[in-house]
Amino acid sequence: MEFASCLGRFRDAQVRDLVWAMAAPGLLADAEWIIPDGECQLLLSRAMPQLLALDRQPEALHAWIAARNPHRLGRYFEVLLGYWFTYLIDTAWFAANRIVKSGRNVTGEFDLLWCDSTGGNCQHWEVAVKFYLQVDAAAGFAGYVGPMLHDRLDLKVTQLHDKQLQLSQTPAGAAALAEILPASAAGVRARALLKGWLFYPAQHMAAPATGISAAHLAGWWMRWSAADFCLPPGLRWLVLDRLHWLSPAGTADTPDLLTESECMTLLAAHFAAGAAPLLLAGLDLQTTGWQEATRGFIVPPAWGEDGAILL
């Protein structure tokens, strides 16, 4: 099912995020160590009747999230996947966030471990959700940086592939698996689930790096100081809190939405205080209410110009 039409079937915001966790395309092109979109789509298809029922009565999901009280976006993503593996995927066994130690030292953590309904085919999933802005189209993965300039796509890919997915091959990791996996397990297949959004300079044609999925979710970014700064016309605007970054925004009400003039006033006040980048969603009015049509980061005037970005 097409991504936008799939999410359009759901009204509850947290259920939409739950669906997004499987329905959203990955950031990277298919590789042996990447969980392909088709595999996620199969899990989504099998769970669709339960998801639609949950959207009508979402209290169980709300309680699940509230009990874990995630404050970081990455942790929120893990909580959503935990719900998937606990209630929506037919598993014989599941474990999350298993710490690996060598003596008293922590050497790593298995994000998700699970076995299918046969009990024999076991998986190790390392999962991450990331938001990167492209600052140099010629730099490949290194040209994508996090909005706070603390992260880079090439570094994350290297960490996933060369460290996190190799944990089971280390003596401590192998020993931990021998203790926690069910006796029926016949080895473990390690792969990564990397989802999120990538943002490209506004007013320029996006130039994704080689190795980026052709289906990845994309937006734009621009500096508040740009002489030609203007928001796309004809939309209402929302400033997205970090835990609302996953699925496209939608609201049946207008009080929370800003006109272009109101949004510009908010941005002027925000950046006058030298504050951090903001993620905006632009919404237009459709038959189902206000729905996200575009999204982008507005960054401070000097963002990334003080040598903080290492390319």
Looking at beta carbons, which pairs linking 31-36 to residues 24 or more positions away fall under 8 Å?
A: 33/160, 33/161, 33/165, 33/190, 33/191, 33/192, 34/191, 34/192, 34/194, 35/125, 35/191, 35/192, 35/193
Residue 289 gets the label, from left (phi > 0), alpha (psi -120 to 50) or beta, of left
> Residue 112: left (phi > 0), alpha (psi -120 to 50), or beta?
beta
Q: Return the axis-axis angle of helices 59-68 and 13-23, rounded to nearest 10°.
A: 80
Name the residue ranges covered by the structural domains of the chain.
Answer: 3-299
pLDDT tens series, the chain, 311 aa: 678 788 989 999 999 999 999 999 999 999 999 999 999 999 999 999 999 999 999 999 999 999 999 999 999 999 999 999 999 999 988 999 999 998 889 999 999 999 988 766 899 999 999 999 999 999 999 999 999 999 999 999 999 999 999 999 999 999 999 888 887 777 799 999 999 999 999 988 899 999 999 999 999 999 998 677 889 899 999 999 999 999 999 886 667 899 999 999 999 999 998 889 999 999 999 988 899 999 999 999 989 886 555 54
Q: What global pTM score does this model have?
A: 0.94
Q: What local confidence, expressed as pLDDT, does residue 255 receive?
A: 75
Which pLDDT score, from 0 to 100, does residue 306 have?
A: 65
Q: Which of 98, 77, 101 is nearest to 196 (CA)?
A: 77
Q: Which two tokens stand for residue 192?
A: 């990564």
C-beta separation of 13 from 76 below 8 A: no
pLDDT of residue 90: 92
Contact predicate 212/28, CB 8 Å: yes
Bridge partner list, 291: 250, 284
Residue 119's pLDDT is 66
Map tokens 């209630």 to a residue. 87
pLDDT at 311: 47
- Nearest 10 degrees: Cα torsion 228, 255, 59, 90: -30
199 CB burial (10 A radius; 0-12, 13-18, 19+): buried
8 A C-beta contact, residue 218 and residue 199: yes
Q: Give pLDDT, residue 25.
A: 97
| Residue for token pair 């963002």 | 303
pLDDT for 1: 63
Q: In sequence order, what are the residues at sequence separation of 6 or more whose Cβ sits closer than 8 angstroms to the Cβ of residue 53?
A: none
What backbone torsions phi and psi does residue 149 show, to the nearest 5 degrees? Answer: 65, 20
